Amino acid sequence: MIIFNLVGLVMLAISFGVAFLTGWIMGTTAEGPLMIVAGPLAAACDAAYRWKHSAGHWFHPDGGGSLFFLPVWTFGLLWLVLGIVYTVQGRP
């Protein structure tokens, strides 16, 4: 049983690659800031893909990137919120 699609993996790889590169440039490895960067990037990639393609449905897994049958943009929003919480709490 496949629980993701290739589009979703590419979106996540690009988002976290950019986040880790940004963290490396800024000299931080803390989870919070990395999630604050990766979350909106993942959500934006998935939203743009779903908006651009005629078959793109906002909640259907086959309409864009998906992971565990959930759209990547939902994970992006969750990671943004968690990143803000982790940063405010001062987690390393």
Distance between CA atoms of residues 83 and 30, nearest Å: 10
pLDDT score for 67:
85
What pLDDT sits at residue 34? 94
Question: Torsions phi, psi of 4, nearest 5?
Answer: -150, 170
Q: 31 forms bridges with which residues in the sheet?
A: none
Evaluate whether 77 touches 43 at the Cβ level (below 8 Å): yes
Whole-prediction pTM value? 0.84
Lowest average pLDDT, out of 33-37, 57-61, 83-87, goes to: 57-61
What are the tens digits of pLDDT across the range 13-46?
999 999 999 999 999 889 999 999 999 999 999 9
Owner of token pair 């998906």: 66
Residue 70 phi/psi, 5-degree rounding, is -115, 145
Residue 75: which pLDDT band, with cuts at 50, 70 and 90? very high
